[in-house]
């Protein structure tokens, strides 16, 4: 870590790198740079390998397209693919927001009353273990609006981690602090706002990270099930269509977009968590 | 002399039948520094928690400021063995917490937080987070948080038990200064004979299985007590008396440690 950044906390266990090494490659020594640099290096090697294998063995593009061809399709079919991305993203974000609001509300209900939790928690688990593929057709039949039905499916997939993590978090109050609040005759509301909610935040953000990815998976799966009966413009629909037409490069291009979206969502949640917890929670305090 | 705390036959038996504390009679005068000394399981923390109102006595009469604890108008502050600070809040917010809970106006609360931080010598750490402070400093924050309510009665449950000896000695000395300066009544729980001798006017010696009071030793030494007091013959004499009292109490018990 560079001397510029380490002024905040003097950790005796951390040895500053020798000045010479810092001067030669200061940027590569930074953990933030390393965190991006090393995975990128792996990606570059894999893509290069993929490209050379496809070229060397003259594999036809309708079986395995080369990365260059996929990139080309991303440009030529940009209007189609990015339009589809916007549709899928809209469903994902709507579902993610619904799952977060609903999950937090349910978690609050759970911690207010043991009876509510005991009575309803098995059904939350039921929700989690039922494959969405199995119930998506029903939801699509029952709900008239294609967008609404897809959002419901994706919400169901993303809901459970928010409920489970937030409930756990709201209960994970340090016993010492809980006694202190009791001693100070804090009201139920004060204890909730000043103690339970801040204590729950690390768990809640953990739930958000998992759910953001699940919301995307839920949206794509629901689109697949809906097929041509759905909104008909999402990325999953493009993959289906491209499959029928044996347009393998476009399938790959759509897949790349879905994956990139998932990574971006995860990164956004990680950043949000870092911003909210930096400075106090062990998971987000730099341990260079 | 006005009694700050009066216990008449106060006892505690847990729901599973464990006798945590046999009936205790004890009076603590206003402005007194009394220490409860004993091994773990002797009921000293139980006794302190009952005085704080954190536990209900099973039997007996407990008066704080001549009133039952529920109607007592005494301002009681409790310091735990751990600092029990909110890790997400800065030092100043942690110290302000009891005032915020009591809805004291912000400007007055902030002034009192400044005063309390000054008393424990942490005025320049107001904007730090607890994790940036050492264990001793965290304990000082915890003490500042208890002083901010301007308590008359300070109850401390092995507050420095988790700290190294050098830090503990400094906090002991600072605590005595605070006690004299703020005219507090302090009930201090510890398992350290030396801490008990250094701090107290009076030591209540307790024993375990079942928890009970076995002796009372007056430490008749003038304040302020310097660091030199710790190595004086008088100090050693008091320590020997306490050691003796503890040993006589545990001689009757079956060996369990």
pLDDT exceeds 60 at position B33: yes
Q: Which residue is closest to A175 within chain B, CA to CA?
A: B84
Which two tokens mark B244?
């003796």
Percent of chain A with pLDDT over 70: 88
Which two tokens mark A246?
């044996």
Which helix (H) or strand (E) segment is B28 a member of? strand B19-29
Interface contact flag, B98 A194, Cβ < 8 Å: no
Residues of B in contact with A184 (CB under 8 A): 97-98, 101-102
pLDDT exceeds 70 at position A138: yes
Q: Which residue is closest to B75 within chain A, CA to CA?
A: A184
When CB atoms are compared, the residue of B78, B97, B129 closest to A279 is: B129
A79 Cβ partners below 8 Å, 6+ apart?
Answer: none
Mutate to test the interface with B, among A9, A184, A196, A201 (most CBs of B within 10 A): A184
**Whether B161 contacts chain A with CB within 8 A:** no
Of residues A270 and A227, more confidently modeled: A270
Give the closest-approach CA distance of A274 to chain B in angstroms. 13
Count of CA atoms in the C-beta half-sphere (13 A) of B150? 9
Long-range contacts of A82-85 (CB under 8 A, 24+ apart): A82/A257, A83/A233, A84/A233, A84/A234, A84/A235, A84/A237, A84/A238, A84/A254, A84/A257, A85/A235, A85/A257, A85/A261
Per-residue pLDDT tens over the stretch B123-135: 899 999 999 999 8
Percent of chain B with pLDDT over 90: 63
The pLDDT value recorded for residue A280 is 79
- Mean of the pLDDT values across residues B208-214? 88
The pLDDT value recorded for residue A104 is 96
Which helix (H) or strand (E) segment is B154 a member of? strand B153-157
Tell me how far the alpha carbon of residue B250 is from its chain's centroid: 24
A232 Cβ partners below 8 Å, 6+ apart?
Answer: A146
Which two tokens mark A145?
């609006």
User: Pseudo-torsion of CA A269, A271, A277, A278, nearest 10°?
Assistant: 170
Q: Are strands B76-79 and B153-157 parallel, antiparallel or unpaired?
A: parallel
Quick one: pLDDT band at residue A72, thresholds 50, 70, 90?
Answer: very high
Interface contact flag, A176 B84, Cβ < 8 Å: yes
The pLDDT value recorded for residue A228 is 61
- Mean of the pLDDT values across residues A240-244? 89
- Exposed/middle/buried for residue A244 (C-beta within 10 Å: 0-12, 13-18, 19+): exposed
Give the closest-approach CA distance of B54 to chain A in angstroms. 7
**Lowest-confidence pick of A167-181, A242-256, B133-147, B240-254:** B240-254
Mutate to test the interface with A, among B45, B87, B143 (most CBs of A within 10 A): B87
Q: Do residues A272 and A205 make contact, with C-beta atoms less than 8 angstroms apart?
A: yes
**Whether A188 contacts chain B with CB within 8 A:** no
**What per-residue string of b and e applies to A160-197 under the rule 16 or more CB within 10 Å gives b?**
bbbbbbbbbbbeebeeebbbbbebbebeeebbbebbbb
**Whether A287 contacts chain B with CB within 8 A:** no
pLDDT exceeds 70 at position A249: yes
What is residue B79's three-state secondary structure?
A: strand
**Whether B125 contacts chain A with CB within 8 A:** no
Interface contact flag, B97 A184, Cβ < 8 Å: yes
How far apart, in whole angstroms, are the C-alpha atoms of residue B132 and residue A116? 40
The pLDDT value recorded for residue B126 is 92
What is residue B34's three-state secondary structure?
A: strand
ipTM of the complex: 0.82
The model's pTM is 0.79
Q: What is the mean pLDDT of chain B?
A: 90
Angle of CA points B99, B101, B104, to nearest 5°: 40
Which helix (H) or strand (E) segment is B142 a member of? helix B135-147
Interface contact flag, B129 A185, Cβ < 8 Å: no
The pLDDT value recorded for residue A13 is 43
- Mean of the pLDDT values across residues A159-167? 94
pLDDT exceeds 70 at position A226: yes
pLDDT exceeds 80 at position B145: yes
The pLDDT value recorded for residue A1 is 34
Mutate to test the interface with A, among B101, B129, B133 (most CBs of A within 10 A): B101
Reference A180, options B79, B175, B46, B139; nearest CA is B79
Residues of A in contact with B86 (CB under 8 A): 177, 194-195, 198
Count of CA atoms in the C-beta half-sphere (13 A) of A53? 9
Interface contact flag, B84 A174, Cβ < 8 Å: yes
Q: Is the dihedral of CA A170, A171, A172, A176 positive or negative?
A: positive
What is residue A287's three-state secondary structure?
A: coil
Per-residue pLDDT tens over the stretch B3-31: 899 999 999 998 888 888 999 999 999 99
Residues of B in contact with A279 (CB under 8 A): 129
Which of B42-46, B81-85, B184-188, B253-257 holds the top average pLDDT? B184-188
């Amino acid at each position: 870590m560079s001397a510029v950044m380490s002024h905040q906390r003097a950790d005796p266990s951390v040895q500053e790198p020798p000045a010479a090494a810092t001067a030669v490659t200061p940027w590569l020594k930074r953990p933030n740079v390393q965190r991006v640099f090393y995975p990128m290096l792996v990606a570059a090697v894999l893509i290069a390998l993929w490209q050379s294998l496809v070229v060397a063995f003259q594999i036809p593009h309708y079986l395995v397209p080369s990365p260059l061809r996929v990139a080309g399709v991303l440009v030529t079919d940009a209007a189609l693919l990015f339009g589809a991305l916007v549709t899928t993203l809209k469903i994902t974000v709507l579902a993610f927001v619904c799952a977060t609001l609903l999950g937090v509300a349910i978690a609050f209900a759970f911690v207010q009353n043991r009876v509510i939790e005991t009575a309803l928690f098995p059904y939350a688990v039921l929700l989690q273990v039922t494959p969405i593929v199995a119930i998506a057709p029903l939801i699509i039949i029952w709900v008239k609006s294609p967008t609404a039905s897809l959002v419901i499916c994706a919400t169901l997939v993303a809901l459970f981690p928010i409920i489970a993590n937030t409930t756990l978090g709201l209960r994970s109050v340090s016993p010492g602090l809980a006694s202190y609040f009791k001693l100070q005759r804090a009201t139920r509301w004060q204890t909730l706002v000043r103690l339970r909610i801040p204590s729950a935040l690390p768990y809640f953000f953990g739930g958000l990270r998992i759910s953001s990815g699940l919301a995307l998976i839920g949206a794509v799966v629901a689109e697949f099930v809906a097929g041509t009966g759905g909104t008909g413009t999402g990325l999953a629909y493009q993959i289906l269509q491209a499959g029928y037409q044996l347009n393998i490069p476009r399938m790959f291009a759509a897949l790349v977009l879905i994956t990139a979206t998932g990574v971006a969502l995860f990164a956004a949640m990680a950043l949000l968590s870092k911003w909210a917890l930096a400075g106090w929670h062990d998971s987000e305090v730099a341990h260079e | 002399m006005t009694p700050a705390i009066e216990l008449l036959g106060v006892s505690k038996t847990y729901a599973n039948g464990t006798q945590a504390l046999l009936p205790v009679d004890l009076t603590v005068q206003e402005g007194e520094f009394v220490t409860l000394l004993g091994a773990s399981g002797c009921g000293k923390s139980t006794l302190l928690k009952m005085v704080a109102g954190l536990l209900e006595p099973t039997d007996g009469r407990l008066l704080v400021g001549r009133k039952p604890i529920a109607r007592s108008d005494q301002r009681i502050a409790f310091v735990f063995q751990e600092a029990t600070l909110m890790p997400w809040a800065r030092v100043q917010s942690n110290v302000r917490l009891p005032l915020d809970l009591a809805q004291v106006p912000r400007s007055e609360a902030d002034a009192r937080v400044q005063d309390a931080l000054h008393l424990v010598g942490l005025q320049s750490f107001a904007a730090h987070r607890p994790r940036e402070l050492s264990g001793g400093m965290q304990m000082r924050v915890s003490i500042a948080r208890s002083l901010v309510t301007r308590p008359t009665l300070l109850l401390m449950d092995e507050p420095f038990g988790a700290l190294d000896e050098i830090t503990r000695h400094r906090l002991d000395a600072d605590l005595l200064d605070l006690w004299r300066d703020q005219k507090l009544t302090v009930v201090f729980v510890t398992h350290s004979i030396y801490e008990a001798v250094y701090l107290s006017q009076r030591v209540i010696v307790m024993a375990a299985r079942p928890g009970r009071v076995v002796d009372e030793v007056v430490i008749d030494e003038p304040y302020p007590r310097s660091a030199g007091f710790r190595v004086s013959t008088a100090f050693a004499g008091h320590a020997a008396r306490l050691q003796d009292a503890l040993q006589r109490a545990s001689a009757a018990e079956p060996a369990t440690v």
